[in-house]
Structure 1
Amino acid sequence: MLKKLFQSLRFPRRPANAVRTTPQVLNKSQHALTRAQISRHAVSVVERLQKAGYDAYAVGGCVRDLLLGLSPKDYDVATNATPEQVRAEFRNARVIGRRFKLVHVHFGREIIEVATFRSHHPQGDDDEGNALASQHESGRILRDNIYGTLEDDAQRRDFTINALYFDPSSERILDYANGMPDIRNRLIRLIGMPERRYQEDPVRMLRAVRFAAKLDFEIERHTAEPIAELAPLLEDIPSPRLFDEVLKLMLGGNAERTYELLLEYELFEPLFPVTARAMEQNPDYTDALVRHALANTDERIRLGKPVTPAFLFAALLWPALPGRALQLQDRGMPPLPALQEAAHELIVEQCRRTAVPKRFTIPVREIWDMQERLPRRHGKRADMLLENPRFRAGYDFLLLREQAGERTNGLGDWWTRYQDASDTERRGMIRQLSNNDSAAPVKKKRRGGRRRGPRTDRPSGE
C-alpha cells in the first residue's frame, strides 16, 4: 500500500540549472585564474572587507571574462556587509541606487562596485521585508534590497556563467550553478525557471543576447525558448533604461551579430518599432542599411576609433523617414517641411521606447538634414557645406546609403573627389554641374498639378 502511495506521488526533479547549497570548490590547481590577473584595487577591496570580518569575493563578469581570456571592463565585489557597513570601511566610497543599492569605491578613474548578497523576495503582504522589495503585477522586480547569504546571492544571479565567486586570497572559485561547465561548453543558461526570471526582469532577454554575441556562445535551449513570447514585456521597461541597454547592445563591438540575434528572438521590434515597420515594407533595403551601419560601427570600435550613438540612431531610423515624408506630402505639405516634420515624428516615437537624449537627437536631425543639402552644390554652396561641422557625418551617412543600394546619381563619388581636389579643380567640377544642368532637356510645367514623390537627387529608401 505504501509502495503504491509513493509511486503515485510526483516529487520535483532538481533542474540542471539549480543552485547548490554547497558549492563546487575549485582550488587554484583546477583553474587558470590567478590573483595577479585581478585588478589590484578589486583585490584591495576584497581583502580589506575580509580583514574587517566580512565575506567578500570578486564575482560576475570579471571572473567569467578572465576565465575566457578576455579583459574585463570593470570589477564587481559581492559581500555580506551591508552598503552602510561597506561605506564605513572606505573613505573613498559612495552609496548609490534605489532599485539596487550599491557602493562605488573610487580609485582614481577605476570604480570597484560592491554589492551586498541578495536574497529571494518575500511572498505575501505580511512578510517581513516587503518595504525593501516590491514587484510589478507582471512579476517584474521594482526594488531589490533584500539581503541574504552567499547561496541566496548565487540563486538570484541571472546566468550560470555570472555566478562564479573568486577569492583572491586563496585563489579558489566557488561555483554554485554549474557555471564552469557552461563556460567550457560555451552556453548562456539562466539560473532558475526562465519564464519567471524574464518576468522578474525582462531586460534579461537582452542580456542573454548581448552575452551570446559578445562571447560567441549559444543560448541554451530552455533559456531561449520563452524569449519570443515574452518579448513584449520590454514595452513596460522605463525608456531611459532601455536606451542604456541599447547602447550596451550596439556599442560593444558585436553589433551586427547582436542585430541578428535580436531579429531571431523577436526582440528588435520592441526596441525599434518604427524600423521594424519599415523592414516589413522594404525589407532588403532596411536590412542592408542597418547591417552596413552596425558593421561599420564594429570596425571603428575594433580600430579604436570614436563612435557616436547619434550616427547609429540616424541609420536605424532612416529607412522609415522617406515613406513618412511622402505621407505628409500627400496631405499637401511641401517636400522640405514634410521631411523635417517626418524626422520630428520618428524621433518622438523612438524616444517613447528608448529615451534618446537631446544631445543625440539633435545631431540625428542634422545628419538627416545634410542628406537634403548635399545634392545642392552650385555656386558657393559646396564650399560652405565642407565647412559645416556636420559635413563629415553627413558625407559618411551618404556613403552608407549608397552601400545599402540607394541610387544617388554618383553623389557620394562626387563629394569624395571634391574634398581632395584643388581650388581650380573644384571650380571646374562646379562648372561641369552647371553645364550638365543646361544640357538637360527642359520639361514643360503642368498647370494645376503638383509633383508627387521625392526628386531623383533627394534621399530615398526605395
Structure 2
Amino acid sequence: MLAAALIAWILIRKRSSSTETETDTATSSAATESGYRRISEADHQIPRRYLDDNAMKVVYRLEDAGHEGYLVGGCIRDLLRGLKPKDFDIATSAHPEEAVELFRRGRLIGRRFKLLHVRFGREVIEVATFRASHDQDEVSRDQARTAETGMILRDNVYGTIEEDALRRDFTVNALYYDVKDHSILDFAGGYDDLKNNRLRMIGDANARYREDPVRMLRAARFAAKLGFDIESETANPIRELAPLMRNVSPARLFDEVLKLLQSGHGEASYRQLQRFGLFQYLFPLADQALESDEFPVETLIVNALCNTDRRLAQGKSVTPAFLFAALLWYPLQQRIRELEPTSDLPPLPLLHEAANQVLGDQVRCTAIPRRFSTPVREIWELQLRLPRRQGKRADQLMEHPRFRAAYDLLLLRENSGEDLGGLSQWWTDYQVANPVNRREMMPSDLDDKPKRKRRRRPRKRPANDQSQSQGE
C-alpha cells in the first residue's frame, strides 16, 4: 500500500536524520505525538510583515468557518530562504465545494486536481484541499484515476494534513505555516533539508515520478533556483524515466517551460535539463540542432537565457515570444536549408513555410498560444528585413512593434559567433544617431538604390466626353 510505504519511509528518514540534527531538533523544534516537528516563530524567524495579507484573510476566513487552513509549500520554502515568494498557496481541510461558498470572488478550476481560486484584484490565492493516498477501498473511480504507466489522471481524494504532507513531492515543499501561533509544521524533514541545501523526494522517487512526470522538471527547476544538491535517490531515476514526459499535455509543458526558463534562473535550469536528458522532450528540434557544427546553437541558447535572467534581475519585462524565437532560430535555418533545393519560393515566403513547419513540430511538445506564436514569426521575418537599410526602410523598421525584440535577437546571433558583418553594431549606432548622421550612415549599395518613378502619361479625354456640361 502506497500510504503505508510512505509512512514507513518517513519514520526511517526521521530516525536517520535525528542523529544528524539532534542539536537543532532540541533547540529549534518540538516533536509531537503525530510524528511531525513544530518549529516556533522564535526559531524560524519569518517576519510576519512578509506574509501576504490576502492569503492571511483567506486562512482566517476558513478557520472562522470551522476548517483548518495553512500557508503551505513554496511560499514557506522561499521565506525561509530569504526570498520573496511569487505567490502564496493554502491547504485546507475544507472540500472545494465547501470552501468556494465562503468567498464571493472564488471559483473552482480543474478536473484532474480540483482547486479553488480566490481573486483579490490581480492577485489570485490558490486553495487546495488536503489530499490522501489513492489506495483506499472507499475511493470511487470518479475521485481518483491512474494510467497504466502509474501517472495520476485524476486526484480528488481528500484526507488529513498528515496524509497531504506525504502526497507532496519534495520535503522542502511539505512545510505548513500555522497562523494560530505562527509556527511551522514539518512532516517530512524538509526544514533540515532546507538548511542543508538538499532536495529530496518524499517516498520512492521512481513511483512518484511515474505518478506525475512533471516532478522531474520540478526537481531540475528547484535545484537551479535554490542552488540545491539533488539527493542521489531522487536524481538517479530521472534520466531513465525522462521518456514519460511524452505523456504530459503540451499545454502543461508550456507552463513548465516558462517556470524553468523565465523565472530568473533560466541558464541554470537549462544545465539541469541537459544533465538529466529532459531538454529533448521540451525542445526536440533545438536539441537535434545541437549536434550541428554549422551553427553556434548552444551558444545562442545560453546567451538568450542569460539575457533573460539579466533582464529579470533588472526588473525588466520578458516575453515567451522572444525566448521561443531564439531557441528555435537555428532549427528554422536548418528547415529552410532542407526546403530550398525543392522549392522555388522567394526568401520571405520560404521563411514563412519553414516557420509553419517548425512551430507545428514544436507545439506537439509544448503548446505555444497564438498570442506568442504570431510575434515569433514577426521576429523571424524581421531578421530578413534588418539587413535592408536603404532609404526610409531603417526608420520604418524601427517603428515596427517587434523591432526591439528582433534587434535583441540580432545582437545575440552576432555575439554568439554568427558572421553578420557588424550589422548589429550598425543598428546600435543608428538608433542613437541624429538625423544628419543617420543619412551619412546609409549604405550606398548600387543594387539597392531606389528606383526612379515612371512618369505617367496624361489620360486622353474621349471626344464625346460631356462631363463638363452635365453639371452646368
* Residue of structure 1 in register with 2:401 after alignment: 389
Q: Please identify the structure whose Cα radius of gyration is greater.
A: 2
2:45 aligns with: 32
Check the 8 A contact 2:390/2:448 in 1, yes or no.
Answer: no
Contact 1:289-1:315 within 8 A present in 2 as well: yes
- Quote the residue 1:57 is aligned against: 70
- In 2, the alpha carbon distance for the partners of 1:91 and 1:145 equals 23
Q: Structure 1 residue aligned with 2:13, among 10, 13, 16?
A: 16
Structure 2 match to 1:121? 134
Tell me, in whole angstroms, the C-alpha distance in 1 between the residues paired with 2:259 and 2:130.
25
Partner residue in 2 for 1:109: 122
What is aligned with 2:382? Answer: 370
Deviation at 1:128, TM superposition (A): 3.2
Indicate if the aligned counterparts of 2:295 and 2:418 stay in contact, CA closer than 8 A: no
Q: How far apart are the structure 1 equivalents of 2:447 and 2:14? A: 70
Is the CA contact (8 Å cut-off) linking 1:35 and 1:169 kept in structure 2? no
Of residues 261, 264, 267, the one that matches 2:272 is 261
TM-score by length of 1: 0.87
Identity of matched residues, %? 52
Aligned to 2:469: none
- Which of 82, 89, 107 is residue 69 of structure 1 equivalent to? 82
From 354, 366, 370, the equivalent of 2:366 is: 354
Q: Which amino acid aligns with 2:413?
A: R
Match of 1:88 in 2: 101
Check whether the contact 1:34–1:171 (CA below 8 A) recurs between aligned residues. Answer: no
**Equivalent residue number for residue 5 of structure 1:** none
Gaps of 5+ in 1: 1-11, 439-462
1:308 corresponding residue in structure 2: 319
Name the aligned partner's letter for residue 13 of structure 2.
A
Taking structure 1 as reference, are residues 16 and 333 closer, same or farther at Cα in structure 2, changes over 3 Å only?
farther
How big is the shift at 1:36?
A: 3.9
1:228 aligns with 2:209: no
Alpha-carbon displacement from aligned partner over 1:86-126 (angstroms, at most 9, x marks no partner): 12223332222211111122333332221111000136xx7
Q: 1:383 to 1:184 in 2, by over 3 A?
A: same
CA contact (8 A) 2:262 2:308 kept: yes
Match of 1:341 in 2: 353
Alignment correspondent of 1:399: 411
Structure 2: how far apart are the matches of 1:209 and 1:382?
43
Superposition deviation, residue 347 in structure 1? 0.6
CA distance in 1, matches of 2:12, 2:213: 22
Q: What is aligned with 1:408?
A: 420
Partner residue, 1:167: 178
Q: What is the 5 A alignment of 1:135-284?
A: 135-282=146-293
**1:165 positional shift:** 1.0
Q: Which runs of 5+ in 2 are unaligned?
A: 1-7, 18-32, 450-472
The aligned counterpart of 1:8 is none
Structure 2 partner of 1:297: 308
AA at the equivalent of 1:64: R
TM-score (norm 2): 0.85
Residues 16-73 of structure 1: CA distance to partner in whole angstroms, max 9, x if unpaired?
3899952112223332125443222222222332232222211111111111111111
Q: Distance in 2 between matches of 1:224 and 1:283?
A: 34
Letter in 2 for 1:134: R
Tell whether the 8 Å contact from 1:96 to 1:103 is kept in structure 2 after alignment.
yes
Measured on the aligned residues, the alpha-carbon RMSD in Å equals: 2.2
Letter in 2 for 1:102: L
* Contact map agreement 1:94 1:104 (CA 8 A) in 2: yes
- Per the alignment, residue 427 of structure 1 pairs with 439
Aligned residues of 2:411 and 2:424 also touching (Cα < 8 A):
yes
Native 8 Å contact 1:324 1:342 kept in 2: yes
Question: Shift of the alpha carbon at 1:127?
Answer: 5.2
Contact 2:325/2:380 (CA < 8 Å) preserved in 1?
A: yes
Q: Taking structure 1 as reference, are residues 332 and 27 closer, same or farther at Cα in structure 2, changes over 3 Å only?
A: closer
Superposed displacement of residue 395, structure 1 = 1.5
Farther-moved stretch of structure 1 (73-82 vs 45-54):
45-54
Offset of 1:15 from its aligned partner?
4.6
CA distance in 1, matches of 2:446, 2:272: 50
Task: State whether residues 122 and 129 of structure 1, in contact with CA within 8 Å, keep that contact through their aligned partners in structure 2.
Answer: no
1:6 aligns to what? none
Match of 2:391 in 1: 379
1 CA distance for matches of 2:212 and 2:229? Answer: 21
User: Quick one: distance in 2 between partners of 1:282 and 1:21?
Assistant: 59
CA distance, structure 2, for counterparts of residue 78 and residue 389 of structure 1: 43
Report the Cα distance in structure 2 between the residues aligned to 1:348 and 1:17, rounded to whole angstroms.
Answer: 49
CA distance in 2 between counterparts of 1:227 and 1:263 reads 11
**Larger deviation, residues 294-303 vs 86-95:** 86-95
CA drift at 1:375: 1.3
Q: Which moved more, 1:396-405 or 1:24-33?
A: 24-33
Instruction: Give me the whole-angstrom Cα distance separating, in 1, the residues matched to 2:48 and 2:390.
Output: 65
Q: Is the 8 A contact 1:17 1:160 kept in 2?
A: no
Q: What amino acid is aligned across from residue 376 of structure 1 in structure 2?
A: R
SS in structure 2 opposite 1:78?
strand
- In the other structure, the counterpart of 1:44 is 57
Amino acid at match of 2:229: E
Structure 1 letter corresponding to 2:195? R
Letter in 2 for 1:59: V
